[in-house]
Amino acid sequence: MSLINQTNEEYYAGEKMFAVTAAPQAIFESTFELELNLSSSTESSNFAIQVSTDSGATFSAYTGTIVSVVNNNKEQNPPFNKQTITINPAIPNTTKTLVRIVLKATALWQNYGSYEYIKLNDIINNFLIAYVGDGKLISNVKRTDVIFHAKRGLQEFSYDTLNSIKSLELDLPLSMSVIIPQDYVNYVRMSFVDSLGVLHPIYPANNLTNDPTDVPLQAIDGSFVQDEFGENTEAMNSTTRTRWESTNDRLINGAFNEYMYNANIYDFSWRRQNYGQRYGLDPVVSQVNGWFNIDRRQNKISFSSNLKDRLIILEYISDGLASDLDTKLPKMAEEAMYMHIAYSILAGRAGVQEYVVQRFKRDRSAQLRNAKIRLSNMKLGEMIQTMRGKSKWIKHYSLLTLLILLKIN
């Protein structure tokens, strides 16, 4: 069957139109790739129902009750996803009556680009069909085992293979700290945005400061104060962090004046007045973009005082398992996932000959390498542009010459 089942109208416009001309209609079906979510609050649902009585010239919100939404995915009800919506009362039929199901903006964004990915549940089903059965190396396996290895594979792939970087745009509050995201595993980059929309990197504080994990209260003699249960009493705030949040960053980086935020370019007067005076400075402190530190006591990310009122961009990676089996995997890494599951199952079984295990290990490594190359998204034209900006001699080479050199190497 075709892999694309939703109509162009459903994909591009995010809507499904129905003509109610023959009889009153209370049940409507659509084939969106994503599930329709019905909430007790109409505003919280990811779709809306609109009605027109003038052949589509104007639409108004349906004022009745949406009784139910049934999402039948293609695993449960092949060959494609289908949503069945029941309303009450039914829409009266006239020659000019139209009804449309409209995706809200956030749902529409999720629907775009969906063909680029394959759901983890589809991976599991495909593996059980293609790699398990009579006459195959894996004669039988529990579905739960396949799910486990698929999830572990997705976790490992998310760290250094998949382009699964998430980014948050955050206003830095007066507390100079933000809460670590719910699905956070590790940060990739921290930046602030200037008035031009340009990103400026924010560097980790490293050895400049530290957020202690424990701040016990102490008596005058230095001993720890215990509570009624015999446990050390913790102070609410860390003195180290309080001092860091209120410090003047110029006392650290040596900057004597404000500089111009213009894509990391200093103005001429700054260069003229400070010519040669910054030679040999430690790059950890000789920058004015600011610093951040991860507070493991409160599980927050704290920032230096010069970033007050800044717009922060936090880029981080997750493990890809925040939404269970609906998690999506890029199709370019699909074969690598099959090889990972097969290798993991065979490597953990007794009685499997070692050469078979080694064969699948090599296949897994080869497919993982292919996935990394595909997902790196390197384009020859972009590479040439970068090389021409870094080296003068490359400017004299034509595109054909570069292709020949790349092929030879």
Task: Note the pLDDT tens digit of each residue in 46-87.
Answer: 999 999 999 999 999 999 999 999 987 655 555 457 899 999
Share of the chain above pLDDT 70, in %: 83
Let me know if residue 329 belongs to a domain. Answer: yes
Beta bridge partners, 292, equal 204, 303
Residues 103 and 211 in one domain: no
> Is 154 in the same domain as 236?
no
Question: Is there a domain that residue 56 lies in?
Answer: yes
Q: What is the pTM of this model?
A: 0.72
Same domain, 328 and 371: yes
Residue 3 lies in a domain: no
Residue 316 is which amino acid?
A: Y
Looking at residue 263, its pLDDT comes to: 36
In a domain, 310, yes or no: yes
Q: Which domain holds residue 134?
A: 116-162+321-376
Query: Are 199 and 261 in a shared domain?
Result: yes
**Rounded to 5 degrees, what angle do the CA atoms 13, 17, 20 make?**
165
Domain count, the chain: 4
Instruction: Supply the DSSP string of 111-154, one letter for each residue.
Output: HTTGGGEEEHHHHHHHHHHHHBSTTSSB----HHHHHHHHHHHH
188 and 313 share one domain: yes
pLDDT at 265: 41
Q: Which of 240-244, 263-267, 358-362 has the lowest mean pLDDT?
A: 263-267
Judge if 298 and 354 occupy the same domain: no
How would you label 74-84 residue by residue, b for 16+ Cβ within 10 Å and e otherwise?
beeeeebbbbe
Check whether residue 284 and residue 361 sit in a common domain.
Answer: no
- Which among 112, 129, 145 is the end of a domain? 112
